[in-house]
Amino acid sequence: MSDTPPDRLAVNPSSPFHDPAALERGVGVRFNGVERDDVEEYSVSEGWIRVQAGKARDRRGNPMTLKINGAVEPYFLNLK
């Protein structure tokens, strides 16, 4: 595995961008220069993150998310 995280990554296992190997290794996200630990999904090339909107749920029981635009810098927590 390379030392750069994927361009797009999601925590939700039903997403096509879910990568268990990268998540097991640990991925941190710096958004607009601030460390964020509540990111559900991110895209570096498109410049956005998705974060959970409180405790709200949709009709399928999934958390409601907000899409926020800005500079996204992912990094691996454990460099192996």
pLDDT digits (tens, 9 = 90+) for 23-75: 999 999 999 999 999 999 999 999 999 999 999 999 999 889 999 999 999 99
Band (79; pLDDT cuts 50, 70, 90): low
Q: What is the mean pLDDT of residues 3-25?
A: 93
- Give residues with Cβ within 8 angstroms of 24, minimum separation 6: none
Cα separation of 70 and 22, whole Å? Answer: 22
pTM: 0.88
Band (78; pLDDT cuts 50, 70, 90): confident
Tell me which H or E stretch contains 32. Answer: none
CA 1 vs CA 39, 49, 63: distances in Å? 22, 23, 30
